[in-house]
Structure 1
């Protein structure tokens, strides 16, 4: 069943989208009370900067991933620059509000604390702050100017190509080749995954990991050459709960341990970490059962 399209915000407004529902009722948690602003009908006008947050509710958005928002912009309409999301980590985990880029690199996200939301949104809409700067300023929890220390692997913001096809729909890990300069290194990586199963996926054997086998759908297609992490979340079909997406880039090919670049789809869409292929199965399993968060691997 397709997700409902996003409503069109008025000029200068930002949609505040709820993606957490119980019995078709929106759950906003403590967010609305924590925002520094005043209620104005179905909008909140923030004190710092005067930005209007238009509250957007639809039970059809339950469990919607932030990276899927670009696909829900109505066809023929201009995408607003940004949207704000109140998701499960916000409602039940006290996480910062998720801002999703809808224009520069659609689908990537950064979290911003509620008490700083007005300033950040006003600066983004006014042009004195770019989404790239939010990404560069994230801590390991994906929070802009957060105190969780800087990630070991900064999330890239440079884009080589602007257009890519959709990624395959699957519940398994996607392993996507993005570098095509070394076929021998790529074959070595694929050989390490083992033999494909009847569904076309690969399961790593005991020689690859002594903890958890990695089940992955391998994408070897030049259509994804130079794909960057921030572009990945918008390419995952809406409604598909892919465990994670791992990119095999030039650094992956150059190292015998095949350290893949793993992209977050849930907590902070587009954020990255790099792990050896031998550890990817354990990471996928822990993310799947919510035993660990993406930040635990950053």
Structure 2
């Protein structure tokens, strides 16, 4: 059985190791921390809307157009999802984790990813009745935790606008998802 001074010494060692890890992690570029792969997603000014399923061009066009369409918000205002379509066959079939691993580092802050939100048009998007898209969030503050949820094309605008302006948090949308895990207009 450890005495009080033994427990304190053990706690100090644990804290020192955590601080060392935090210092090392903070100085490493984002792409190295993820998995060492060179990033391949393009740098975008807005949130990337990544196509990973190339089986149906007509469905992709309809989904893309629905996400990009202006949506009335009341009072005569219209909002759009601030997304940029990325249509590159190199991303065909990639999972959320594989896409996150390909997010480039922020050029102004290399220990941060250039994008912390991805919108993905995957096989489920193309085959589901509502064409719900996969939303992937990377929480850098929480040890690069990758979170996923689905949203209908119209709801993407609401989620993206509120997340990127920090008007609402990820948890609020996760809680607002219906029983099937899909966020629809709130």
Q: TM-score, normalised by structure 2?
A: 0.66
Structure number having the greater helix percentage? 2
**Does 2:54 correspond to 1:180?**
yes
Segments of 4+ in structure 1 off by > 4 A? none
Tell me how far apart the structure 2 counterparts of residues 171 and 269 of structure 1 sit (CA, whole Å).
Answer: 23
Alignment of 1:78-89 (within 5 A): none
The question of whether the paired residues in 2 share the 8 Å contact of 1:257 and 1:278 is answered with: no
Ranges in structure 2 where 5+ consecutive residues have no aligned partner: 1-8, 107-112, 175-186
Name the count of aligned residue pairs. Answer: 155
1:11-60 CA deviation, whole Å, 9 max, x = no partner? Answer: xxxxxxxxxxxxxxxxxxxxxxxxx942249834xxxxxxx8734427x9
C-alpha RMSD of the superposition:
3.5
- Determine the structure 2 residue equivalent to 1:275: 151
Say which of 51, 71, 74 aligns to 2:32.
71
> Highest relative contact order (Cα 8 Å, sep 6+), 1 or 2?
2
Tell me how far apart the structure 2 counterparts of residues 57 and 165 of structure 1 sit (CA, whole Å).
Answer: 23
- Determine the structure 1 residue equivalent to 2:84: 217
Tell me how far apart the structure 1 counterparts of residues 149 and 168 of structure 2 sit (CA, whole Å).
Answer: 14
- Determine the structure 2 residue equivalent to 1:78: none
Alignment of 1:233-252 (within 5 A): 233-239=100-106, 241-242=114-115, 244-252=117-125
Tell me how far apart the structure 2 counterparts of residues 219 and 185 of structure 1 sit (CA, whole Å).
Answer: 15
Deviation at 1:286?
A: 1.1
Deviation at 1:282?
A: 1.3
The question of whether the paired residues in 2 share the 8 Å contact of 1:164 and 1:224 is answered with: no
Q: TM-score, normalised by structure 1?
A: 0.44
